Amino acid sequence: MNSSLVSILIPAYNAAPYIAETLDSALAQTWQNIEIVVVDDGSTDNTLAIAKTYESKRVKVISQENKGASTARNRALKAAQGDLIQYLDADDLLAPDKIERQLELLEFDRNSDYVASGEWARFFQNPSESVFTLQTLWTDMSPIDWLIAAWEKNLMMHPAAWLVPRNISDSAGMWNENVSLNDDGEYFCRVILASQGVKFCTGAKSYYRSGISGSLSGSKSRKAWESAFLSAELCTNNLLSVDNSDRTRYACACYWQCFVFMAYPQAQELIQNAEKNVRSLGGCDLKPEGGIMFKVMREVLGWKIAMQLQKFYYRYRYKK
């Protein structure tokens, strides 16, 4: 079915320095049958004005009051007409052949029972600095095996790395607008479980811009930790509702343990509840990762003291 329409959905908030490059990467796709839906989420800079210069038959721009990224993605998804869905944040980039490679892997089947993943790498200033390093998740897997592999090692897949057939997207449901931090983790957990499996596409590359000041993913507020806790709760419950076995319970325990590592020492009440969840699931032997010095301190002093010393060191270092 070589006529498959792919919808590229771009939520945007105060992305004026980046959105033109993002839109250019979307329009440069070798797969020509695309539509682009940009939803400006109440930006206070020139994001909307820049996006509107791209309006055409293939680019639709929608403006809404500031309601958050998940609401913006839902607005874009409702407006999308495509057979397959490509999410793309307003500061990230796609390689020109990213979508075409994944469509070929899915055999151009708009009703495929599989989702396609791809290679991804971080960059800070220029995408040419990106280094694509082989990861555990870069292979074909069943839904349950994929989630277990991700959670046991605290791994992720960049949201733009996915290509999702619309029938799977419809089965998974909309984005949860009560989740802000790790909303993509919660959403794609449902997408993966709604599929027959993940097909990894070698060479289908996306670029994840990192190090942006003030981004929600870098936030350490109470609201951010509450969102991450809710996301962990929803993800683990979704997996256990499908397969409540020793190995899935261990993976879920690891997921909660990773939350503890990330949130420590903030949000003590949430940390205590997460630790209870780890114990109730049977425990987890996962340890926080770091450099050689951190690992030495972790073994001698315990991970909590080691993390406090590490954070104190970085605060002192960057004040100078």
- Would you kindly state where each structural domain of the chain is located, as residue ranges? 6-216, 220-286, 289-320
pLDDT-based confidence at 2, cuts 50/70/90? Answer: low
What residues are paired with 123 via a beta bridge?
A: 209
224-242 per-position pLDDT tens digit: 999 999 999 999 999 999 9
Give the whole-angstrom CA distance, residue 154 versus residue 67: 29
Q: What is the pLDDT of residue 279?
A: 98
Q: Higher-confidence residue: 219 or 9? A: 9
Give the whole-angstrom CA distance, residue 141 versus residue 15: 35
Give the whole-angstrom CA distance, residue 155 versus residue 163: 19
143-201 per-position pLDDT tens digit: 999 999 999 999 999 999 999 999 999 999 999 999 999 999 999 999 999 999 999 99
For the residues 66-94, what does the mean pLDDT come to?
A: 98
Token pair in block for residue 244: 């409540």
Q: What is the pLDDT of residue 119?
A: 99
87-115 per-position pLDDT tens digit: 999 999 999 999 999 999 999 888 899 99
Token pair in block for residue 223: 């609201």
- Which of left, alpha, beta for 182 (phi over 0: left; psi -120 to 50: alpha)? left
Around 286, how many Cα atoms within 13 Å sit in the side-chain half-sphere?
27
User: Which CA distances in Å does 300 have to 101, 196, 306, 313?
Assistant: 49, 45, 9, 18
Q: What is the pLDDT of residue 247?
A: 98
Q: Which among 140, 132, 175, 136 is positioned nearest to 155, based on CA atoms? A: 136
What percent of the chain is modeled with pLDDT above 90? Answer: 79
Q: Which CATH architecture has domain 6-216?
A: Alpha-Beta Complex (3.90)
Average pLDDT, the chain: 93
Omega before residue 265 within 30° of 0, cis: yes
Q: What is the pLDDT of residue 303?
A: 84
Q: What is the pLDDT of residue 28?
A: 99
pLDDT-based confidence at 212, cuts 50/70/90? Answer: low
